[in-house]
């Protein structure tokens, strides 16, 4: 593209320094926050007051901090679920479906063991809780694994498969918890049965133990990608599948593996959302909201550029923002959906920042002779 005496070109960046990666992430988030000011135009407060309401609730009230942490754990599991396949160049947008599968599997354990009443637990509570975690991870992993297997064996588009599974699982949850479904609650108001209190996730100072799982997984994942041969293979496959294949990396095993692992994390997110957050402890009627929320995980993995530890502060921030936005909605009488709008804005600024991440924009002065109109006349030497 030429602008006056200068030409504008996009040159691919050969390598991106970590500082530059952090910078693009910070700019993308700040830009989305700045753009979200139009959401606050109709608020009962000035712009500064609106932002203060969002942040003050999420990060500076005891209630808000706990809620932010609980949601951050959920978002982190969702982040890993998207991040692991992304490192292999694959898109797992099946987060909602895998979350629902995890939730259904977790609740299937007490349902099958007939442990819905506290009075008659057939096994020690700790054993049942353990079974629930394992079942949730396995169910999420299987659902993800299906998409991974189809991708690996037949090159079936994983975006379409995971999206179809999202819709299937969404309706399956409705079937299970509504209109006399097997998991319907005693009140029959279109929600699942409430978990007896011994089977809920143990809390330490209000924080469920899943926090430790989420943080531990971040460290393990970063070690996996940075230090192990398997991690190297996944990254190589993600960057250039054809070259990886010539390098002896199996094009079948890897897509399956990353989807199994990613799906298992989403299953854990489902376990966490419905059995570890005080006040929930069941599959609620508005379970679809948790599916929508999982896309914040997708964005934090994208913005963190595949770094699991890097995603931790981003997930905490997004958890606080989405909660604070909901709170501000009530406090400042904003229209519904500020948290959804923020999700959209973040995605937009991420895509924009991606251009600057991939390419260096260079201005070159066009040499004077190139600017001269070229004579088409043959004479006049």
Partner 1 sequence: MWDLLARSLGASTIFLFAALGELVNQRAGVLNVGLEGLMLFGGTAAFITAQTTGSLALGFLAGLLIGGLLGLAHGLFSITLRGDQVVSGMGLWILSFGLTTYLGNAYTGPLGLARIPSVLGLSPFFLLGFVLVAMTWFLLFRTSLGLAIRSAGENPAAAEASGISVLAIRYLCVTFGGVLAGLSGASYTLSYNPVWNYNFLMGWGFVSLALVFFSMWNPWILMAGASLFGIMWQLSLSPELVLPGVLSRYIWRTVPFAITIPILVIISTPWFRTRWGLAKPEALGRPYTRG
Each residue 122-161 as x (binds partner 1 by CB under 8 A) or -, in order, gives ----------------------------x---xxxx-xxx
Does residue 165 belong to the site contacting partner 1 (CB under 8 A)?
yes
- The reply on whether position 171 binds partner 1 by CB under 8 A is yes
Determine phi and psi for 186, rounding to 5 degrees: -65, -30
Any idea what DSSP says for residue 184?
B
> Based on CB atoms, which residue is closest to partner 1, 201 or 287?
287
Question: For partner 1, which residue of 127, 335, 362, 366 counts as binding (CB under 8 A)?
Answer: 335
Torsion angle of alpha carbons 17, 21, 23, 28, nearest 10°? 160
Token pair of 338 as six digits: 């500020």
Query: What sign has the CA pseudo-torsion 63, 83, 232, 19?
Result: negative
Residue from 59, 91, 209, 232 in contact with partner 1 (CB under 8 A) = 91
Give dist(CA 87, CA 374) in Å, integer: 50
Among 108, 142, 195, 299, binds partner 1 (CB under 8 A): 299
Using the minimum distance from each CB to partner 1, give the nearer residue, 156 or 366.
156
Rounded Cα gap, residues 108 and 162, in angstroms: 22
337: left (phi over 0), alpha (psi -120 to 50) or beta: left
With contacts defined by CB under 8 A, name the span among 71-79, 117-125, 216-224, 349-357 that binds partner 1: 349-357
Of residues 140 and 297, the one with the C-beta less far from partner 1: 297
Give the closest residue to 141 by CA, choosing from 170, 91, 105, 98: 98
Please, what is the minimum distance in Å from the beta carbon of residue 120 to partner 1?
29
Burial of 54-93, coded b for 16+ CB within 10 Å and e otherwise, reads beebbbeeeebbbbbbbbbbbbbbbbbbbbbbbbbbbbbb
Q: Cβ 235 to partner 1, closest distance in Å?
A: 17
Smallest gap from Cβ 258 to partner 1, in A, equals 16
Binding site for partner 1 (CB under 8 A): 10, 39, 91, 93, 150, 154-157, 159-161, 163-168, 170-172, 174-175, 178-179, 181, 292, 295, 298-299, 302, 335-338, 340-345, 347-348, 350-351, 354-355, 358-359
């Amino acid at each position: 593209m030429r602008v006056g005496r200068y030409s504008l070109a996009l040159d691919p960046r050969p390598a991106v320094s970590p500082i530059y990666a952090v910078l693009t992430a910070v700019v993308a988030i700040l830009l989305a926050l700045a753009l979200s000011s139009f959401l606050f135009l109709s608020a009962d407060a000035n712009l500064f007051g609106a932002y203060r309401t969002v942040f003050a609730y999420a990060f500076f009230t005891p209630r808000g901090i706990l809620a932010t942490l609980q949601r951050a754990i959920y978002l982190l599991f969702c982040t890993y679920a998207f991040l692991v396949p992304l490192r292999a160049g694959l898109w797992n947008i099946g987060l909602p479906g895998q979350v629902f599968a995890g939730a259904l599997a977790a609740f299937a354990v007490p349902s099958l063991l007939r442990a819905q009443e506290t009075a008659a637990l057939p096994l020690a509570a700790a054993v049942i809780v353990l079974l629930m975690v394992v079942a949730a991870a396995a169910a999420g992993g299987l659902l993800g694994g299906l998409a991974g297997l189809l991708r690996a064996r037949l090159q079936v588009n994983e975006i379409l498969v995971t999206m179809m599974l999202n819709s299937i699982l969404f309706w399956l949850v409705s079937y299970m918890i509504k209109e006399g479904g097997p998991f319907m609650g005693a009140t029959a108001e279109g929600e699942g049965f409430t978990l007896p209190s011994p089977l809920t996730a143990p809390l330490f100072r209000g924080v469920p133990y899943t926090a430790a799982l989420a943080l531990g997984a971040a460290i393990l994942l970063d070690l996996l990608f940075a230090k192990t041969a398997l991690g190297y293979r996944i990254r190589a496959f993600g960057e250039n599948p054809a070259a990886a294949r010539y390098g002896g990396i199996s094009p079948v095993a890897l897509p399956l593996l990353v989807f199994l692992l990613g799906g298992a994390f989403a299953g854990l997110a489902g376990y966490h959302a419905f059995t570890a957050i005080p006040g929930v402890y069941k599959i609620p009627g508005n379970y679809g909201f948790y599916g929508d929320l999982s896309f914040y995980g997708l964005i934090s993995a994208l913005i963190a550029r595949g770094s699991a530890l890097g995603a931790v502060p981003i997930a905490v921030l997004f958890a606080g923002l989405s909660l604070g936005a909901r709170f501000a909605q009530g406090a400042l009488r904003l229209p519904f959906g500020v948290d959804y709008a923020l999700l959209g804005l973040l995605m937009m600024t991420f895509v924009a920042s991606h251009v600057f991440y991939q390419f260096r924009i260079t201005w070159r002065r066009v040499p004077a002779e190139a600017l001269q109109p070229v004579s088409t006349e043959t004479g006049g030497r």
